Amino acid sequence: MRTLDILHVGPLSGNRITGLNVSIPNLAYAQSMSSGVSVRILNSKSAPPPASSLPVGTWRSEVGPIGALRNPRTPDLVVFHSTYLPRHALLGRWLQQRRIPYIITPRGGLTREALQRKRLKKAVGDRLFFHRLVSGAIGIHFLSNAEAESSRTWNLPYFVQGNGTSLPTDAEVNVHQRVDSSPLVLFIGRLDVHMKGLDLLLQAWALSAPKLKEKKARLIIRGPGNSAQIEKLHNLIRILDISDQVEIGGAVTGTSKADLLSKASLFVHTSRSEGQPSAILEAMAYGIPCLVTPGTNMADEVRDARSGWAVASSPVAIAEAIVQSLGSRMELVSRGMSARERAVEQFSWATVAERTLAGYRDLMNNTSRRGWASPVPHSPM
């Protein structure tokens, strides 16, 4: 039976910290382990790609001239990660002309909140390029139900499947040990004050600072960020007078990151808009209960699994939830254990790979029945 050849296209760089540089290579590699599937990656960014277990093609060598995409052979399916990128629009047009099916994984890029950012620029881009790119897809892959509900209606079929995460061993998950008398509240992610809702988080902390000080609680914020964003964070901490309780630091990886995760009592993400933060999945894999806002697109998941708390995107609501969550050691342990169980059951890369492949096949078979593309080969059972 013929192999299904999939090409993932996304803006990658050597920065292994940001989400796409982790999730795209891991998803592609996990899919490549499935029988009857061949997977390639094409970097649509002019930057050195991250290290990957699969070869990563560069835009210049693979696409210019664009016919070189046929080497070693034309893919059966292309998956675009992210939307508002001119190179994706260019490649999408080339694929349409050759009737090669493609799927879009917008990763939050089509939500109402995301479309409000740089609205004029995106309106022009829609008219010139991107409306054609999205409307020409055979379907959309959303990372969560919340993302699907918040995204523009394109009258396209879609499926929902979240990202995956690497699972630490049971020995590395110390749910009981890290809930002590000096709780550590942790945020890991890009230091974008507005998008990540870090202003909301810091304002919330300031509202409850006396109570949190009594509990000897600390807030650690770690992640990559430009100098302007970092300065904005430090200024806000100084104005709110919480510098003795809050620590800001740069990106954290490897054993340093694992050490922080193994000590955290509560993981917080108060984003205004996301696709699906891989940091939350990673925290759940470590058995850390999570406190999240609707903008993370993980609020329903966290609430339904009782793996943390879902709160409104306001400083008052966030402040009350932080104090409440740190008030019960038993509840922290219980929700941390639920978070770990959900991660093991739902978020391993192997599980995510099989479910996304099933979603791809459903979209391709549906398209095939309408006579638009050739039938898709199924993996042997």
pLDDT score for 375? 36
Residue 89 and residue 193 share a domain: no
Residue 83 lies in a domain: yes
Confidence band, pLDDT 50/70/90 cuts, at residue 374: very low
Tell me the two tokens of residue 301. Answer: 């998941």
Residue bearing the bigger pLDDT, 55 or 344: 344
Residue 301 lies in a domain: yes
Provide the domain count of the chain: 2
Residue 92 lies in a domain: yes
Residue 185 and residue 57 share a domain: no
Asked if the peptide bond before residue 65 counts as cis, ω within 30 degrees of 0, the response is yes
Residue 268 and residue 188 share a domain: yes
pLDDT digits (tens, 9 = 90+) for 79-135: 999 888 888 988 998 899 889 999 999 988 787 776 666 555 555 555 566 888 888
Residue 184 and residue 125 share a domain: no
pLDDT score for 291? 97
User: Cβ(269)–Cβ(301) under 8 Å?
Assistant: no
pLDDT digits (tens, 9 = 90+) for 169-186: 877 787 766 666 689 999
**Domain around 341:** 170-346
Residue 190 and residue 324 share a domain: yes
Residue 378 lies in a domain: no
The CATH number covering residue 303 comes to 3.40.50.2000
What is the DSSP secondary-structure string of 166-223? PPPPGGG--TTTT-SSS-EEEEES---TTTTTHHHHHHHHHHTHHHHHHTT-EEEEE-
Cα-based angle 215, 187, 278 (whole degrees, multiple of 5): 140
Residue 380 lies in a domain: no
Residue 381 lies in a domain: no
Residue 183 and residue 60 share a domain: no
Residue 267 and residue 129 share a domain: no
Residue 308 and residue 246 share a domain: yes
Residue 72 lies in a domain: yes
pLDDT digits (tens, 9 = 90+) for 221-254: 999 889 999 999 999 999 999 999 999 999 888 8
Residue 216 and residue 157 share a domain: no
Say whether pLDDT at 151 is over 90.
no
pLDDT over 70 percentage in the chain: 84
Residue 183 and residue 132 share a domain: no
Residue 226 and residue 121 share a domain: no
- Alpha carbon distance 181, 193 (integer Å): 29
Residue 71 and residue 103 share a domain: yes
